[in-house]
Structure 1
Amino acid sequence: MVFAGTHAAMSILNAVSLSRRPAAAFVVIGLFWGCFAAHVPVLKAQLGASDGLFGLLLLGSATGLVSSMWLAPKADKVLGAAGMQVGVVFLALAWTLPAHVTTPLLFAGAMALVGLASGMLDVIMNARVSELEATHRRPLMNANHAMFSVGYAVAALTASATRDAGISPTLVFAGLAVLCVLIVPMMRMGVMQVDADPTYAGHYPFWPIALCGAVTLVAFMSEATVEAWSALHVERTLGGGAAEGALGPAMLGLTMAIGRFSGQMVSEHLREVTVVKVAAAMSATGAVIAAVAASPIMAYLGFGILGLGVSVIGPMGLALVGKLVPPHLRTEAISRVAVIGFSGFFFAPMLMGLLSEFFGLRVAFAAVAVLLLSAIPLASSVAKHPAAVT
């Protein structure tokens, strides 16, 4: 048992070490989104927005994300080895805006810039991990996404303390920006260039991208709803305080980190499609528990189970498309799936806001459970694809 545990720990550490440069970028994005999730009640009150309006304002991020679909691959080619470095600096600067904006229209514009910066860095860092997977012939995606969750949980816990102390969100985000810029030098990484096989006569891999993108979208939409609305659910629906509210997204981040590190080991032994199906059922159960929770502790249990399950679905969707497409199209396919998936982080809060506005947060979290269950038939469709490697 001790040997198995030691072997598992070494496997995880080795995966993180092999991909340490993109892993640092994953941590950066996690830090900013964790901080944002914990400050949602503050930012919403600062704007004086209703649930529905706040959800619509978050949709502004989708504008930037859609732009990143086209800009990121081009920027990646131009920036080369400095792609992640420029992406982190851009993201750090973008996040200094939403915290001190007090008018809805300006907030939507600020979030659009955040969406563009976050989307570009997401595409670039996921492409680098996929290239490393091909080079080292081993799965690395879960370990890197676990680092996002670690950063997310640390930031949410820190924000719980800063909110309780009455520290301004502007100062917290500014401090994070300085910290992230300091680690930029370690993120320089060369880009793998793969030329098309002259004998390749296949069609563009639309269906692998679409199906894997849909699986990833379900995962990230579900994750985004808890990130953006869990603090409000604990504080408003269940009567928790500011620190208790911030623990909602922190619980999600902690359990997702555990789930993704575990997924790193599982992905080396089990079929990805099987893991996605089991994880979807598990996370849906967590969403139901959060929806019917009678106390903050029960809600934390639901968020934790949801986090453990949903944690592996998105990374496996990204890893799968890397296996389903020709090598010379891998980076482009990863970028398309990443953008489809990460759009969930922006569309989900808007939909959640509308559901909450008309039916309440309990019904909104129940809808998340239904969404998660849709990953099961999608995963079955991926398995049936003739080019699938599972």
Structure 2
Amino acid sequence: MSSGDPSGSQASGHLMQAIAARRVVSAVFLMCGGFFGLWASRIPDIKAATGLSEGWFGVLLLVMALGAFTAFPTAGALMDRHGPARVTKGAALGTAVAFTLLGLSPSVVTLVAALFFAGFAFGSLDVSMNGWGAEVETALERPVMSSFHGLFSLGAGVAAAAGGLAITLGFSVALHFCLWGLLSVPILVVCLRQHWPQSVGGAETQDKAPLFAFPEGALRFAGLIALIAALGEAAVTDWAALYQILDLGYSEAMAPIAFTVFSVAMVIMRLAGDRIIARFGPVPVARVSGFVAFVGCVLLVSGWNIFVVWIGCFVMGLGYAVLFPLAMSRAAADPHMSKGRALASVATLGYGAFLFGPPVLGFIGQLFSLGASFAVVALLTLIIPFLAGALKVKS
């Protein structure tokens, strides 16, 4: 009797390795979201410590954005040369160190350096962990990217809530950031120890990466989906509360609930999204998601009453949740660009919209109203169902 099929045993071994790697990548996404929420929770305290005005502090925040945008093409090129797993390990370690140093910065000068370092490390991690996640998704032969992003959102929410507790307990920014850095150590250890076969790009990856990578071919439309989804998420994050207060006249105490329900919907849908995508496919899911997000925008803009506004934000969260993960999965599978360049290009569009979209919406709000800003978001979202076909990979 045969002792077994060697090829079957090898396949089983690869599957077990992919399952283990999925747990590690999930933990890295959770950690990355945690650092995002950590930073967001202490921005007011850091601003107060600098003594800068809102305008100058806004300029300071652009340093972090500059670091991230510098990282996208760099991380993409490194991924193509060394594989996403190795880059993820280095970027994860760099992110933990960078955010710890961010909390220890004693002056504006050191804060500028720490912000650039943190932005660069965070941007590198964002691109590389999506690349590793896409390889795990391919190895498992089923969608998993949405759940990764769901854990990022969950980590951000938990860290933001922990930040509120830290403030209540009187923790200094330095102590808070150091403690959070220590909490990341177990994740870093398992990440660094996880074996994953090195994968590199083809011959086209030998070309020098451009300063800012942009999608090519059909991937442009997938990148546009990521841009519109990120803009919608940024609009709710930055302007939903003020829209309710200034345009609709609701109380300041009630306004933050809109973002809370939006975030809850994002987490729920992202964690459930993989099963939905596996059953119906990325193109139909993206089409329905775009329409659902549009309906949510319309409910928000209508402002009929506070409950309709909250329902609108919840529906928007359901609609936008899986669009960015779908775009990143499409980028990783693009047949015409290397994985690193493709992921970097989509990240550039998506995070560019998240960072620079809110000021544009604010300008529209100043000229007309914040309701008009959300109407613009709604009209752009309506384009997504027509772009969804670009999420299908064609050889």
**TM-score normalised to the size of structure 1?**
0.76
Contact 2:67 2:116 in 1 (8 A): yes
Match of 2:360 among 347, 351, 354: 351
> Hey, what does 2:263 align to over in structure 1?
253
How many residue pairs match? The answer is 364
Does 1:277 pair with 2:281? no
Distance, in Å, in 2 between the alignment partners of 1:228 and 1:43 is 19
Contact 1:259 1:308 in 2 (8 A): yes
Contact 1:286 1:302 in 2 (8 A): yes
AA aligned to 2:251 is G
Contact 1:279 1:313 in 2 (8 A): yes
Greater alpha carbon shift after TM alignment, 271-280 vs 36-45: 36-45
Does 1:31 pair with 2:68? no
Distance, in Å, in 2 between the alignment partners of 1:111 and 1:17 is 33
Cα separation, partners in 2 of 1:323 and 1:238, compared to 1, 3 Å = same
Contact 1:22 1:84 in 2 (8 A): no
Cα separation, partners in 2 of 1:191 and 1:356, compared to 1, 3 Å = farther
Measured against aligned partners, the alpha-carbon deviations of 1:276-313 in whole angstroms (never above 9, x if no partner) come to 12111212332344445477665443332211110011
Distance, in Å, in 2 between the alignment partners of 1:227 and 1:158 is 19
- Aligned ranges 1:236-315 → 2 under 5 Å: 238-241=250-253, 248-293=258-303, 299-315=309-325
Does 1:147 pair with 2:146? no
Greater alpha carbon shift after TM alignment, 69-78 vs 132-141: 69-78
Gaps of 5+ in 2: 1-16, 205-213
Distance, in Å, in 1 between the alignment partners of 2:311 and 2:167 is 23
Cα separation, partners in 2 of 1:132 and 1:79, compared to 1, 3 Å = closer
Greater alpha carbon shift after TM alignment, 369-378 vs 76-85: 76-85
Greater alpha carbon shift after TM alignment, 219-228 vs 97-106: 97-106
Deviation at residue 234 of structure 1 after TM alignment:
6.3
- Aligned ranges 1:331-342 → 2 under 5 Å: 331-342=340-351
Deviation at residue 176 of structure 1 after TM alignment:
2.6
AA aligned to 2:379 is V
**RMSD between superposed Cα atoms in Å:** 3.9
Measured against aligned partners, the alpha-carbon deviations of 1:154-181 in whole angstroms (never above 9, x if no partner) come to 2233334455666555554443333223
Distance, in Å, in 2 between the alignment partners of 1:248 and 1:305 is 11
Distance, in Å, in 1 between the alignment partners of 2:231 and 2:301 is 16
Measured against aligned partners, the alpha-carbon deviations of 1:105-162 in whole angstroms (never above 9, x if no partner) come to 9877654443322210011101101111222222121111111121122223333445
AA aligned to 2:252 is G
What secondary structure is seen at the aligned counterpart in 1 of 2:217? helix
What secondary structure is seen at the aligned counterpart in 2 of 1:139? coil
Measured against aligned partners, the alpha-carbon deviations of 1:318-346 in whole angstroms (never above 9, x if no partner) come to 122334416x9334423332333233332
Cα separation, partners in 2 of 1:164 and 1:351, compared to 1, 3 Å = farther
Measured against aligned partners, the alpha-carbon deviations of 1:344-374 in whole angstroms (never above 9, x if no partner) come to 3322233344345554544433333233223
AA aligned to 1:146 is G
Cα separation, partners in 2 of 1:322 and 1:93, compared to 1, 3 Å = closer
- Aligned ranges 1:167-246 → 2 under 5 Å: 171-188=175-192, 189=194, 190-193=196-199, 196=202, 206-230=216-240, 238-241=250-253
Greater alpha carbon shift after TM alignment, 282-291 vs 21-30: 282-291
What secondary structure is seen at the aligned counterpart in 2 of 1:192? coil
Does 1:367 pair with 2:376? yes
Distance, in Å, in 2 between the alignment partners of 1:330 and 1:123 is 10
Deviation at residue 32 of structure 1 after TM alignment:
2.5
Distance, in Å, in 2 between the alignment partners of 1:235 and 1:171 is 34
Greater alpha carbon shift after TM alignment, 147-156 vs 89-98: 89-98
State the identity as a percent: 27
What secondary structure is seen at the aligned counterpart in 2 of 1:269? helix
Distance, in Å, in 2 between the alignment partners of 1:257 and 1:310 is 11
> Hey, what does 1:117 align to over in structure 2?
121
Pair member with larger Rg? 2
What secondary structure is seen at the aligned counterpart in 2 of 1:226? helix
> Hey, what does 1:11 align to over in structure 2?
none
Cα separation, partners in 2 of 1:62 and 1:147, compared to 1, 3 Å = same
> Hey, what does 2:394 align to over in structure 1?
388
What secondary structure is seen at the aligned counterpart in 2 of 1:183? helix
- Aligned ranges 1:22-171 → 2 under 5 Å: 22-38=25-41, 49=53, 58-76=61-79, 77=81, 81-96=85-100, 111-162=115-166, 171=175
Distance, in Å, in 1 between the alignment partners of 2:257 and 2:351 is 23
Measured against aligned partners, the alpha-carbon deviations of 1:172-206 in whole angstroms (never above 9, x if no partner) come to 444333322342111134353256499xxxxx982
Distance, in Å, in 2 between the alignment partners of 1:343 and 1:249 is 21
Gaps of 5+ in 1: 1-13, 199-203
> Hey, what does 1:376 align to over in structure 2?
385
Contact 1:208 1:321 in 2 (8 A): no
**TM-score normalised to the size of structure 2?**
0.75
